[in-house]
C-alpha cells in the first residue's frame, strides 16, 4: 500500500480563495461563516477546498462539490461509499499557514502538523497531557532539544488519535510514543489496547521548516509519496 501526503499552503489571494470557496458544500459554507476571525475562515475554506479538489482528482471526478463526507462518532470525516469506489481514506491536519492531507487506499490514516511555538510552556503542558514517562523523558532532555521534542511528541500522539478517529475520547496519557534524539518515532505502548503496537505504524514526517509532523497508519507503511497542492495546477 502507498500513502500520499499533500502539503497545502493556506495562504492564498482573494481570487484563489473565491475558487476554493465555490467548491465547498452548503454545510461547509455555513461552517466557514461561523468563524469569528477572517483569517480562520480563510484557512478553513482553503483547507476544505483543497481537500475536495485533491480527492476529486484522485477519484477522477471532475466535480469536487459533489463529494459527500460522512463523520465518525468523534467527528472524523470520510468519503461516503456512494462516491468512493476505491475505498480511499484520508486525514487532514492544519496548523497556522500549513495543512497536510494524507490519502491512502483501504488503510485508516491519521496525520498531524504543529507549528513550533517557542513561547509555549512545554513542561507544564507535558505534565498535563503526556504520559508520566513521556513528561519525565522530555524534562530530562537537554534544554536546547526540548521544544522540538515536545512538538514531535504532540504531533505523534495526535496522529495516532486521529488515525483511530477517537478524538480526545482516547486519553493522551494512555499511550506512549518515541521522541527526542536517539528514539525513533513509533508507538511504544497503548495501555488500553495491547495489540496496538503490532497494528498501528507511526512515523515522523518531514515538512516545512518551523513545523513538526507525524503520520500513523493502520498496518504496514508502504511507499510514501509527497505532493504539493497548487491551486492553479488543480
- Output the smallest distance, CB 51 to ligand COA, in A: 7
138 versus 231: smaller Cβ distance to ligand COA = 138
Alpha-carbon distance values, 122 to 127, 136, 139, 155, 222 (Å): 9, 12, 9, 14, 33
**Cell numbers found for residue 48:** 476544505
Report the alpha-carbon distance of residue 192 to residue 184 in Å, rounded.
22
Q: Contact between 162 and ligand COA (CB under 6 A)?
A: yes
Cβ-based nearer residue to ligand COA, 64 or 110: 110
For residue 93, state whether it binds ligand COA (rule: CB under 6 A).
Answer: yes
Cell of 169: 475520547
Residue 9 burial by CB count (10 A; 0-12/13-18/19+): exposed, middle or buried?
A: middle
CB of 157 or CB of 212, closer to ligand COA: 157
DSSP assignments along 211-233, one per residue: EEEEEEEES---EEEEEE--GGG
Size of site (CB under 6 A) for ligand COA: 23
Binding mask 114-153 for ligand COA (x = CB under 6 A): ---------------x------------------------
Answer for the pair 125, 150: CB distance below 8 angstroms, yes or no: yes
* Min CB(101)–ligand COA separation in Å: 9
| The one among 108, 112, 134, 152 contacting ligand COA by CB under 6 A | 112
Rounded to the nearest whole angstrom, what is the least distance from the CB of residue 189 to ligand COA in the complex? 16
76 binds ligand COA (CB under 6 A): yes
Q: Which of 114, 231 has the CB closer to ligand COA?
A: 114
CA separation for the pair 103, 158 (Å, rounded): 17
CA distance 158 to 185: 13
Query: Which residues contribute to the site for ligand COA (CB under 6 A)?
Result: 44, 47-48, 74-77, 91-94, 110, 112, 129, 154, 157-158, 161-162, 165, 167-168, 172
Amino acid at each position: 500500500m502507498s500513502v500520499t501526503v499533500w502539503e497545502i499552503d493556506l495562504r492564498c489571494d482573494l481570487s484563489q480563495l473565491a475558487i476554493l470557496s465555490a467548491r465547498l458544500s452548503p454545510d461547509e459554507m455555513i461552517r466557514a461563516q461561523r468563524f469569528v476571525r477572517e483569517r480562520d475562515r480563510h484557512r478553513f475554506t482553503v483547507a476544505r477546498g483543497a481537500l475536495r479538489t485533491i480527492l476529486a482528482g484522485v477519484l477522477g471526478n471532475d466535480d469536487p462539490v459533489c463529494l459527500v463526507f460522512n463523520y465518525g462518532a468523534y467527528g472524523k470525516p470520510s468519503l461516503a461509499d456512494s462516491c468512493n469506489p476505491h475505498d480511499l481514506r484520508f486525514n487532514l491536519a492544519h496548523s497556522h499557514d500549513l495543512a497536510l492531507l494524507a490519502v491512502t487506499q483501504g488503510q485508516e490514516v491519521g496525520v498531524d502538523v504543529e507549528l513550533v511555538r517557542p513561547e509555549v510552556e512545554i513542561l507544564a503542558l507535558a505534565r498535563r497531557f503526556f504520559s508520566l514517562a513521556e513528561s519525565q523523558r522530555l524534562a530530562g532532555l537537554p534544554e536546547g532539544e526540548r521544544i522540538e521534542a515536545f512538538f514531535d511528541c504532540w504531533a505523534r500522539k495526535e496522529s495516532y488519535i486521529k488515525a483511530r478517529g477517537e478524538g480526545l475520547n482516547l486519553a493522551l496519557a494512555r499511550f506512549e510514543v518515541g521522541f527526542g534524539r536517539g528514539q525513533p518515532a513509533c508507538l511504544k505502548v497503548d495501555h488500553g489496547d495491547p495489540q496496538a503496537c503490532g497494528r498501528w505504524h507511526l512515523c515522523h514526517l518531514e515538512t516545512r521548516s518551523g513545523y513538526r509532523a507525524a503520520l500513523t497508519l493502520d498496518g504496514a507503511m508502504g511507499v510514501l509519496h509527497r505532493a504539493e497542492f497548487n491551486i492553479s495546477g488543480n
